[in-house]
Structure 1
Amino acid sequence: MDTKKEKNIVLKIGARTLECGLEDSSKPLGKFNVHHFAELQTFGVDSTAYDHSLIPDSASEKVTKEFRLQSMAKNDQEHFRHLFFPDTLIYEDLSLFLQSLKIHLRKVLNKIFYKCGISTINSKLILVQNSTFPKVYNKLLTEILINDLLMRAVVILPTPLMVSIASGSSFALIIDIGWSFTTVVPVFDYRVLDNLLTFTNRAGSRLHYELLSELREEGFDIESISFRELENTISLLDSLVCTSNDELIACGRFLVRKKIFTDAIEKLYLSFDSSVQYEDNEIPIIKLATDLIDKRLPIDLRKILSSRTIVTGGISNLKDFRQTLLARIDEAVAQQLHGIETLGDWAGASIYSTLMKHQKKSPDLWEIRKV
């Protein structure tokens, strides 16, 4: 137990999962899905502001169905089945929402640290989060960690840098497929080049609700499919290829066509039509990567970064996903693309914390300390 007290705590926090453990470890002590802690909250969400892309300009019957789907998305928000939605304008009362989130996060973090057997009192925490993580949530998190959980310091580290470190490299091109956004950002000389960061909403949440829409069109009662059941079905896909249109997989209590899932993944993540004019926030991942490599990166960095491309994020763990996406990007770019493996952002933070513990603190670190 004394050893645990001496080691820094490493916490990766995301919209869908939380990973917690101690530095100098290759794996976290625990990985927790946010939806396991879901419970109804008191704040309200403006359904008309939640996601306008769910409401097409079409027949009234279809609009009614889309509002039903949007209502499910609203319900997921009001139960905290996923966290840290980037647009706080959707909440009817922001102060009430932040108060509810603070109470919820405090309970969740207490449970996580308890289950991992970690004491937080006077500990130093390494917090790993995405480059697009909203500052309003950062402030809330650090207040909880320092004021409520009595930690002495919190060091915030960006996911892209940790992913690069966990690959054994000081430079890489990181394609991170998250819940709200997919980001493409270069890391060079242990620095995240945020000025070159680009993103799209082709991410986990969009796949989730588009699949619900497809299942509804197939005649399934989507209100009988829980958030957890749909996400489990996605994560358990054994391949991106459907050998038969009649091949079935389990989704909750239903048997559904696997092709619905593979087609949705192909359309959302792996396809790009150069003849289509895309909205700025809906640009395909392939185009984001090719534009960055061929146009936006400095010429002297294009070859070196494209030779170390990393695809990370939940959906990237599906069999053959990384290889397929990298192959599609490689076909579209002038530079030769080469993918490399990584141990992941949590492991990168564990390595970083261990190596830097007895060295001078880097001025680039964002550290919040107890006053």
Structure 2
Amino acid sequence: MSNNIVIVYMGANRIEIGRSADACPQEIIAWKTGSINEKNREELKKIFEYYFQICNILGNREVQVLILEDIFISVVEKRIICSILFKEFDCAHVSFVPRAIVHCLSCNTRNAIVIDIGTNYTTCVPIFDLRPLQQFIKYSKRGKREVESRIPLPGCPYMPIFFDEEYNSKNCEVDETPVINLVKNIVESLPIDLRRPLRENIIIVNIEEAYETAIRNLFKLKMDTSKIQFPKNYWQAGSACAKILLHYKGSNIVGIERDEFYNNPHIAPDWFDYYFRTGVKRLQ
């Protein structure tokens, strides 16, 4: 059964794809075209087609797919993904889970603020009891592209993303806020009983290992936080999610079956919808 489960990590600047039975993704493909739309639909289709061919599962109607999604992925993007997987490859099932939750699971925690450094922007997602706190999610346009466009300086190139000595909220746009300022804003806006468990557990994604120590030290200098984690086992956590969600005997409310899609091609599970949100109970 696990040979028929495919995991797709829709990263901020890459797509990772592989089988849930494997310890790591089999293919890592650059994806810097931004959000998914009809213009790049064919490009995404070719990525899936290439992988299905090399794994000899093209035409296998038993294949189930788990998408580890961006927290800001739209329902329109999900419909395009489902359309490709169902119409082009005749998959049996497609499920969606936010990457931020998988990173929490990989760090063995239910509560955290997950910082995901993307190509075009960085997201800060507070998670409590494995639930994204939608109203407190924040993002900044400070991302990897900003780092790549700057002249290399000694030290950590991510410093301008996380902290800016010259930052002044009165002179900058809201979406240009340095990451540490965003995290502080999230903590201050949370209900009092949630502040400590999230403030003390920061998960940072998509940082090269060479810069982890510098980022950890910066956080400890600028914030009262006890634990900074850089998830390493997200693929295994995704595999665990796949086994739980896709083997569940009842209705999978964070996913869609093939027949269900053909009966209603406009359907797409939205994690933030009230009814879908209860699906997190299955990950406990």
Superposition TM-score, scaled by structure 1 size: 0.62
Counterpart selection for 2:236 from 339, 347, 350:
347
Q: Offset at 1:268?
A: 3.3
Q: Output one character per residue of 1:205-258: Cα deviation in whole Å (capped at 9) or x when no partner.
A: 3333x23xx4xxxxxxxxxxxxxxxxxxxxxxxxxxxxxxxxxxxxxxxxxxx5
Counterpart selection for 1:367 from 255, 259, 268:
255
Bigger radius of gyration, 1 or 2?
1
Q: For the residues of structure 2 that align with 1:3 and 1:347, how far apart are their CA atoms?
A: 13
Q: For the residues of structure 1 that align with 2:130 and 2:73, how far apart are their CA atoms?
A: 19
Q: Output one character per residue of 1:180-224: Cα deviation in whole Å (capped at 9) or x when no partner.
A: 22111111212111221100010123333x23xx4xxxxxxxxxx
Q: For the residues of structure 1 that align with 2:242 and 2:15, how far apart are their CA atoms?
A: 18
Counterpart selection for 1:28 from 25, 29, 40:
25
Q: Offset at 1:154?
A: 0.6
Does the residue aligned with 2:60 lie in a helix, a strand or coil?
A: coil
Q: For the residues of structure 2 that align with 1:280 and 1:309, how far apart are their CA atoms?
A: 22
Q: Contact conserved, 2:205 with 2:230, CA < 8 A, in 1?
A: no
Q: Which residue matches 1:201?
A: 141
Q: Which residue matches 2:227?
A: 338
Q: For the residues of structure 1 that align with 2:229 and 2:59, how far apart are their CA atoms?
A: 35
Q: Offset at 1:12?
A: 1.0
Gaps of 5+ in 1: 35-81, 87-96, 215-257
Q: Which residue matches 1:19?
A: 16
User: RMSD between aligned alpha carbons?
Assistant: 2.6
Task: Identify which range, 102-111 or 344-353, moves more after superposition.
Answer: 344-353
Q: Which residue matches 1:317?
A: 208
Q: Which residue matches 2:182?
A: 288
Residue identity matched to 1:16? N
Q: Offset at 1:111?
A: 1.0
Q: Offset at 1:348?
A: 2.1
Residue 266 in 1 paired to residue 265 in 2?
no
Does the residue aligned with 2:229 lie in a helix, a strand or coil?
A: coil
Residue identity matched to 1:284? P
Q: 1:165 to 1:263 in 2, by over 3 A?
A: closer
Q: For the residues of structure 2 that align with 1:138 and 1:3, how far apart are their CA atoms?
A: 23
Does the residue aligned with 1:174 lie in a helix, a strand or coil?
A: strand
Q: Offset at 1:284?
A: 0.3
Q: Contact conserved, 2:8 with 2:18, CA < 8 A, in 1?
A: yes
Q: Which residue matches 1:92?
A: none
Q: 1:120 to 1:129 in 2, by over 3 A?
A: farther
Question: Which ranges of 4 or more aligned residues in structure 1 deviate by more than 6 Å?
Answer: none
Aligned residues: 257
Q: Output one character per residue of 1:159-193: Cα deviation in whole Å (capped at 9) or x when no partner.
A: 10010011112222111111222111111212111
Q: Offset at 1:325?
A: 2.6
Q: Contact conserved, 1:183 with 1:197, CA < 8 A, in 2?
A: yes
Q: Which residue matches 2:33?
A: 83
Does the residue aligned with 2:255 lie in a helix, a strand or coil?
A: strand
- Identical pairs, percent: 19
Q: For the residues of structure 2 that align with 1:14 and 1:134, how far apart are their CA atoms?
A: 15
Residue 113 in 1 paired to residue 20 in 2?
no
Q: Which residue matches 1:166?
A: 106
Superposition TM-score, scaled by structure 2 size: 0.79
